[in-house]
Amino acid sequence: MDYYLAVDIGASGGRHILGWLENGILKTEEIYRFDNGMEKRDGHLIWNIENLYNNIIAGMKKCRQIGKTPAYMGIDTWAVDYVLLDRDDKALGVPYAYRDHRTAGMDKAVYAKASQEELYKRTGIQKQIFNTIFQLMAHKKKEPDILGRAEHMLMIPDYLNFLLTGVKHTEYTNATTTGLVAAKSGDWDLELTDRLGFPRRIFKPIVKPGTRVGSLRQYIADEIGYNLSVMLPATHDTASAVLSVPYDEDGIYISSGTWSLMGIERKEADCGLLSQNKNVTNEGGFGDTFRYLKNIMGLWMIQSVRNELGRKYSFGELCNMAEEEKDFLEFVDVNDESFLSPDSMTEAIREYCRKKHSDNLPETPGQLAKTIYHSLSISYRDTVMEFEELTGKIYPSIYIVGGGCNADYLNRLTAKATGKNVYAGPTEATAIGNIMAQMIGSGLVKNKAEGRRIIYNSTDIRKYLPN
């Protein structure tokens, strides 16, 4: 029996989860957990890559210590962020984080070379000011010496794979989030990168998830006490999470975490004007599919409020407190840019309410939580209606996966607001999708359909009715 190791790294932390098949049932075990977070350096938000690498190694050592050494491993992280390397494979500058404000105004610089309409028609990617295309433009405008010296651009998980194996390439699902991959070809749009003044040489070959990267560098294998095959899952964590959705592709999914990624799977991208106007994106998925989805602010808002309350309350307690505020009701647009990276989320919510001349300002933790959860459910409802308009289909169900699927109160609100059956689970969606991609890539599992059947049979799925 082979063990498969998922290294699942999010914006706030990472974990090592082992997976294996036992009588056709997927078993998982968390082995190691570590903190992550954006660090402020010289006025910018950056990632501590050295910390991530050291923790990856520590978790792999832990597998050895408990006598469960994996034969395969795969890394997934968030999207859009990258590391630039020079000709000697040394990192240049700092790895900026997507919430850094250096991309402000870079949309105008990009649109001077290619309009927003043209970009969407070519790539199918919705405008987000933190997309790689705007980050690279910030490099070009503000740090031209670094971009000029760069020989390689590797997305964060690709860079971590390079540190482990010495192999440089770009995984497909993460590459599509850059806004620089042609939707039709699935490859870099080099005519576009030329026009924007980004050097061609930095864009590495795009490789599909399920591909073997290589073995560990020998000194790493010696350090941890074993070697293994590094595999490519869908390295964009949302793409891994979607692979774990236990459905027959006839429903709407929500990958619920720091972000709420809500969408459907399609065989072809929709790069039309209506999709653009609805701000829907076409990101690459596992198995030659597109994740036709919208980015919704998600649980970042409640996470921020909880932190501002000194973590005095658990998320479960905040849900209960929200439910107790029966006479309070207030809504905000969760996708408003004021909630992206405010100094205080609590104050940002109150200021939004003031600006719309509301007399109903959320003051207590319960009122803040209720405002966030109700606003999210309304955003989900509106997004469901948009997808049904765009596709001409009625979707009977919503499948919620990821850590946010445990928010029982929000699940009930979502079922009520949308009028759809809501299915919640699995919780460890990203790690499970990561493991399943490895299993498919190694030949243990035949294909995506078989993988999803295994996940469904291995997971306790909770159902919420709209009444």
Structural domain includes residue 78: yes
Q: Which burial class, exposed, middle or buried, applies to 403 when counting CB atoms under 10 A from its CB (0-12, 13-18, 19+)?
A: middle
Q: How far, in Å, CA of 136 to CA of 133, rounded?
A: 5
Residues 195 and 305 in one domain: no
Residue recorded with tokens 């690459």: 284
Please tell me the distance from the alpha carbon of residue 173 to that of residue 59, in angstroms, as a whole number. 25
Q: 53 and 142 share a domain?
A: yes
Pairing of β 39-41 and β 206-207: unpaired
Classify residue 85: in a domain, yes or no.
Answer: yes
Query: pLDDT digit string (tens) for 11-48?
Result: 889 999 999 999 999 999 999 999 999 999 999 999 99
Identify the domain boundary among 163, 196, 231.
231
Cβ-contact 5, 70 below 8 angstroms:
yes
Q: Which domain holds residue 304?
A: 247-424
| Same-domain check for residues 408 and 304 | yes
CA distance 266 to 165: 33
237 among known catalytic residues: yes
User: Is 368 found in the same domain as 221?
Assistant: no
Residues of the chain with pLDDT under 70: 248-249
Query: Is position 463 within any domain?
Result: no
Return the axis-axis angle of helices 49-65 and 156-165, rounded to nearest 10°.
Answer: 60
| Whether residue 273 sits in one domain with residue 411 | yes
Q: Retrieve residue 343's tokens.
A: 């100094």
* Domain total of the chain: 2
Does residue 61 share a domain with residue 161? Answer: yes
Which CATH number belongs to the domain containing residue 123 in this structure?
3.30.420.40
Give dist(CA 377, CA 388) in Å, integer.
17
Same domain, 11 and 160: yes
* Active-site pick, 100, 187, 237, 333: 237
Residues 178, 265 share a domain = no
Confirm if 124 and 294 have CB atoms less than 8 A apart. Answer: no
Q: Report pLDDT digits (tens) over 186-214.
A: 999 999 999 999 999 999 999 999 999 99
Structural contact between residues 84 and 155, judged by C-beta atoms closer than 8 angstroms: no
Q: Which of 308, 400, 380, 383 is nearest to 350 (CA)?
A: 308
CA distance 9 to 301: 20
CA distance 373 to 414: 9
HSE-up (13 A, CA, CB side) for residue 410: 32
Shared domain for 226 and 351, answered yes or no, is no
Whether 241 contacts 429, CB under 8 Å: yes
pTM exceeds 0.85: yes
Residue 161 lies in a domain: yes
- Are 60 and 112 spatial neighbours (Cβ–Cβ below 8 Å)? no
Question: Within this chain, do residues 210 and 172 fall inside the same structural domain, yes or no?
Answer: yes
Q: Is position 466 within any domain? A: no
Residue 444 lies in a domain: no
Give yes or no: residues 218 and 80 share one domain. yes
pLDDT of residue 323: 95
- 30-33 contact pairs (CB < 8 A, 24+): 31/5, 31/59, 31/62, 31/63, 31/66, 31/68, 32/58, 32/59, 32/62, 32/63
> In this structure, is residue 47 part of a structural domain?
yes
Domain stop point among 181, 207, 231: 231
Flag whether 95 is in a domain: yes
Last residue of a domain, one of 231, 265, 284: 231
Tokens 């590459």 belong to: 175
Q: Which helix (H) or strand (E) holds 418?
A: helix 408-418
* Domain match, 330 and 227 both: no
